[in-house]
Chains A and B, each alone.
Chain A
Amino acid sequence: MMLRMTVNGVAREVEAPPLARLLDVLRGPMGLTGTKEGCGEGECGACSVLLDGVPVNSCLVAAGQCEGHALTTVEGLHDPSGALSTLQRCFVDDGGAQCGICTPGMLVAADALLRANRNPTEDQVRDAIAGNICRCTGYQRIVDAILHAAKLVAESQGAR
């Protein structure tokens, strides 16, 4: 079946069974391999993407359910210029990534938080990434990176 959806701002058409997992459609026919498969059962958050701006696990969504909707994957989080976003830059600078498997999902979950809440508390950051499991960092550096990004974005907007 031909499925139509907007992915990272681009209208896409893809041939896939409607009950294929969104994750498999993104990584396979769409070639967007930034989204990772971790557990495949909705526990780890590595496959997180934004569906109409809201974080979902793409291993739990049927591709056909996204017909006509807008998706954002980690490939779509960069700045309009194509450079790393402030959030991505902070993950690099603050040591928010180690092995990297959780990173796309962490970025997606954190990006959704910062869009909805420009000045989150540490508790709100931890709640936003509670569904993203990381076995390397112990989370603190990820939390620091997200708080740092929030601060930088607030400062740059204040300066304007």
Chain B
Amino acid sequence: MLESTAKRPRVAHAPAGLEATELVRPKTAVDAVKALAEAAANQRSAMVLAGGTDVIVDRHLLSVERAHTVDLVVDVTGIEGFRTIAREFSVDRERLVFAGGVTYWDLRQDPLVLQKIPMLAEMSKDVGAVQIQTRGTLAGNIATASPAADGVAALMALDANVHLLSAPMAGGSAKGEERVVPLREFFTGYRKTAMCPDELIVRIDVRVPDPATASVIWRKVGTRLAQSISKVALASVLEVQDGTVRHARFGMASVAATTHPLSQVQSYLEGRAIAAVNAAEVDEALARDIRPIDDVRSTGEYRMHVARSLVRGVVRRALTQAK
């Protein structure tokens, strides 16, 4: 009714390389991976699309010469039950399970998340802003493998496992083939993953920290509160019992080619009596873990300074809480 009468382009063009792309919108995950497998068998290039927060931007900004043509896009936002958040128990340990389409907005609202791992809701509030949170998915950020992704850092501190589905093999289960890769082993280099092109992330499960002993913290340092990509971000889970650190896990964003687990800091802390934890030794362990670089968002020197102060801060808080 308020249509403009001014001259305007009547035709909408797709971003470079996507002009003639076929879009399929499967209702089930197995149909999605079948579409990927079929494309591969026919030498067609294929891509998975979820919230589009990375894919559509990258494509829109790509020069026509650099944009290779994609034959098929598999949209996973129409998969039924793909936004489910559930609870399960494995080896006496409670875990939360996020289906492959769970968004940051879902994490902010979900009662289970707010009750069991409120750190995930807090982290989600820091991802872009509402319009990004409603589209961006945990699985999408894992697959894109940016070392700056806040959600991936948080999942790493929660010992996440990534469940990958591929198409049914001849004589195999009609549900397809599934394998599980620990998130710590998922990233093999800058924006490189252990995932095959015909696989789809269908679930992510995380460890629920021990409510009695855990200090679970999210810290993000960016240029401003909303809509900023992290200069450094840290998620930590520290469990202290009877004066000893029993469990230490970290996920740090934007300090290395991949999201970093700070394994040296972890092994320094685990099993150590809190009276024997020394800030200088924590710093030394951290320096063995990471050597951040200069880039458009920050300098390596500043990042190292911030990383040190974040790690010291979360350790201090966990130890104080335990006393």
Contacts and interface: CB of A to CB of B under 8 A. Distances in A.
Pair from one complex: yes
Nearest to A52: B134
Interface string B71-113: 0010101100000000000000000000000000100000000
A131 B131 contact: yes
A96 interface: no
B1 interface: yes
Nearest to A51: B134
B3 A20 contact: no
Interface string A22-39: 001101110111100000
B12 A24 contact: yes
A84 to B, nearest CB: 12
A63 B52 CA distance: 11
B75 A64 contact: yes
Contact of B13 (A17, A31, A41, A67): A17
Given A19-B21, A60-B51, A60-B52, A54 B11 contact: no
A130 interface: yes
A56 interface: yes
Interface in B226-270: 226-227
Given A48-B131, A57-B132, A62 B49 contact: yes
B107 to A, nearest CB: 14
A56 B57 contact: no
A132 B23 CA distance: 30
B60 A41 contact: yes
A54 B75 contact: no
Chain A contact residues, majority secondary structure: loop
Nearest to B52: A60
Nearest to A27: B8
A138 B3 CA distance: 31
Contacts of B51: 60
Given A17-B13, A62-B56, A31 B4 contact: yes
A81 B105 CA distance: 33
* A-B pairs with lowest CB-CB distance, top 9: A131-B129, A130-B226, A18-B23, A19-B18, A17-B14, A130-B129, A24-B12, A64-B23, A31-B3
A42 B23 contact: no
Interface string B47-77: 0010111001101110000000000010101
A20 B12 contact: yes
Residue from B15, B56, B128 with most neighbouring chain A CB atoms (10 Å): B56
Chain B contact residues, majority secondary structure: loop
Contacts of B130: 55, 109, 112, 127-128, 130-131
Given A18-B22, A41-B60, A64-B25, 14 more contacts: A18-B21, A18-B23, A18-B73, A33-B4, A42-B57, A43-B227, A45-B131, A48-B131, A54-B105, A60-B51, A127-B130, A130-B129, A130-B227, A131-B129
A42 B132 contact: yes
Contacts of B171: none
Interface string B207-243: 0000000000000000001110000000000000000
A42 B128 CA distance: 9
B53 A42 contact: yes
A42 B131 contact: yes
B13 A20 contact: yes
Interface string A67-104: 10000000100000000000000000000000000000
A40 interface: yes
B9 A28 contact: yes
